[in-house]
Structure 1
Amino acid sequence: MKVLLISPVFHGYWSAFAAALEALELDVAVHCYDAGGIGNALAHRAPGSAFAARVRGAATAAAIRALAETDPDAVLVVKGDALEADWWHALAASGARSALWLYDELARMRYDDEKLGTVDRVFSYSPDDTRTLQGRGIDAAVLPDGFDALTAFTPRPSHRTSFIGARYPERERLLRVLSEAGEAVEAYGREWSRSPWDVLRTARWRGAGVPAHGDVDRATYFGVMAGSAATLNIHGDGHDGFSMRTYEAPGVGALQLIDRPDVAQHYEVGSETLVFRSDEELVDQVRRARRDESWARGIREAGRRRTLAEHTLVHRMREVRAAWA
């Protein structure tokens, strides 16, 4: 089966999605609809502008060309809300089997029922959004994020607790809580970084007050998480789906500390991953991880086993392939 993957660049995850499809012996072509650097970045900052409309129009035309040139048997669109109606009409007219995978909440995307109704199935990482779509008559199913088990990495041993991701107030606050309690921490991502280029492009003029690094590729941050004393996964409010990090951290053998008790639907809390419900509990768990390496190692190993058995991107793409069948 020839598959066309239409995906955002989004931290290079398109390559992990493509590799997972190829692991299922599918012939995969990839088109990243938002490749193009600064133009797409500017359009994202001003989505209602005439310039953003031109960028979306160009992205739509390029995706339609990729569809015509590839002539696929099936198409998987990831996120895709930057593509205009012409793309969805072309996809429906192509005769290819189709699926859309949403890794963000509908409220944060530009979709209407007409666009969503053109694909054979909508997959969402959000159970709430899935129920909403089903209630509106759209063929929808939950498809959680997953772990890219096909990317090799080398653990980078460290006594610090790590955080990899965007800089939000609650994430910054919790890193400071740990730091002020005497625990060593570090953060990764351009919004944390103090390099002049990162400061300029993010307009984060004030530092977070914790050791920080810029963006790193997936293999590098896998190694950081695996080698850290523990790694934080902080969702905050407004999310009912679980981020990629939820599966990546245990997948690489890291000791994950997550702020979502409902992670119990995917992992056994206390033996495969850890949940914190307060600042005090977070500090206590980090301190125990440093003191009791045997306890921490058992959780790391169990979390990795569960992830490799149930939560890889190959598992997720297998569900997409089944929908096409």
Structure 2
Amino acid sequence: MMPTEKLLIVSPAFHGYCHSIADGFSQLGYEVTVHRYDAFDTFKDKIRNKALYELPSKIGLQGQKAAEIAATAKALRVLDEVKPDKLIVIKADGLGDNFWQKVDESRIPHILWLYDDLKRHRYTLEFLKSRPTVVSYARLEAEEFSLNGANAHFVANGYDPRLADFPTERIPEIVFVGSRYDNREKMMLALQEAGVPVRVYGRAWSHHPFDRLRTWEIKRPELPAERDIPLAEAYKVQAAAAASLNVHGLQAGLSMRTFEVPGMNGLQLIDRPDVEEFYEVGKEVLLYHSTDELIEICQRVIAEPSWSDSIREAGLKRSQAEHTFFHRAQKMNLLWA
């Protein structure tokens, strides 16, 4: 019997996605260790981070550089302690060169996973070419990397079917969970003005005094709004709603939400025609091209729950069959160089 391979995932703490990804690889039989290189879990750690790194950065000192040095040292210690057979590095552009030097010297088979656009990373194409395998969440970027000489592959985002239970009730609202940008704010206000019940979630929408202070903004749009919620709660909120909006910004690939909403038996309203690669538009998800069209769709969703339920059912079936993190792990497991 072959011994269990040890897989180390070095990842940002961002919404805890690393744990869902790790679960996908655990289902393949790996012994998985997750290291969140930018996590501060305890109150003591959070205070220390603010005192040593965030505050110095705000007053013009090298706080960010000091934070990167500390994060790199910790990641190197984890590499030595785990001694993985394989390594997946997600983002990690804030780790120093000596981290990558150690990885190269150890000759660990590794994959660099970018689940955001390259322009939001510090990496260059030359650096990507130096990695044995690069994975991008955006098909066009993966193709561009490959044309420029990198061993690059496209693996879409996914969702975790084990993260939360399906909601037991339906809330007759159109919801949006995420950051507040001008286009999203205008869209939600337009829906509200058209008489569509809406609700938004996130610190930049919240009317709570603490959220206003920590975002350095006093003014908020006059929309029903809730504070930040953890990812598992977001799964349930989006699924319980009459429909959930998936509004992309200027990004190359499809967001995690693309798969999370239908994967939780939710109804997704999405603004990206390229979703048709993963879902049948009109039968598994709903696509809109303008705010006026979105208003019409939302009004029908509210008025005809039996119609929207048929789309939920089809989207859920497709998601469970093709779009979990286990499916993504299976694909990535074929890419080790």
TM-score normalised by L of structure 1: 0.94
Q: Tell me what 1:164 maps to.
A: 177
| 1:204-244 Cα deviation digits (max 9, x unpaired) | 321121111111122211111111011100003x2120000
Residue from 269, 280, 285 that aligns with 2:292: 280
Q: 1:118 to 1:175 in 2, by over 3 A?
A: same
Residue from 17, 20, 26 that aligns with 1:22: 26
Contact 1:178 1:185 survives alignment (8 Å): yes
**SS of 2:131 mapped into structure 1:** coil
Q: 1:178 to 1:314 in 2, by over 3 A?
A: same
Q: Tell me what 1:217 maps to.
A: 230
Give the unaligned 5+ runs of structure 2: 41-45
RMSD between superposed Cα atoms in Å: 1.8
CA distance in 1, matches of 2:134, 2:282: 33
Q: Map of 1:79-158 to 2, 5 A cutoff?
A: 79-155=91-167, 156-158=169-171
> Are positions 1:194 and 2:207 aligned together?
yes
**SS of 2:32 mapped into structure 1:** strand
CA distance in 2, matches of 1:123, 1:256: 26
**SS of 1:34 mapped into structure 2:** coil
Contact 2:130 2:150 survives alignment (8 Å): no
| 1:283-323 Cα deviation digits (max 9, x unpaired) | 11111111111110111011111111111111111122222
**SS of 2:333 mapped into structure 1:** helix
**SS of 2:171 mapped into structure 1:** coil
Q: Map of 1:246-285 to 2, 5 A cutoff?
A: 246-285=258-297
Q: Tell me what 1:31 maps to.
A: 35
Q: Tell me what 2:329 maps to.
A: 317
| 1:121-141 Cα deviation digits (max 9, x unpaired) | 100012222122112211100
Q: Tell me what 1:298 maps to.
A: 310
Q: CA deviation at 1:49?
A: 6.2
Residue from 178, 185, 204 that aligns with 2:217: 204
Q: CA deviation at 1:190?
A: 1.4
Large movers: runs of 4+ above 4 Å: none
Give the unaligned 5+ runs of structure 1: none
Letter matched to residue 8 of structure 1: P
> Are positions 1:10 and 2:22 aligned together?
no
Residue from 68, 86, 99 that aligns with 1:56: 68
**SS of 1:229 mapped into structure 2:** strand
**SS of 2:334 mapped into structure 1:** helix
Q: CA deviation at 1:115?
A: 3.7
CA distance in 2, matches of 1:286, 1:35: 38
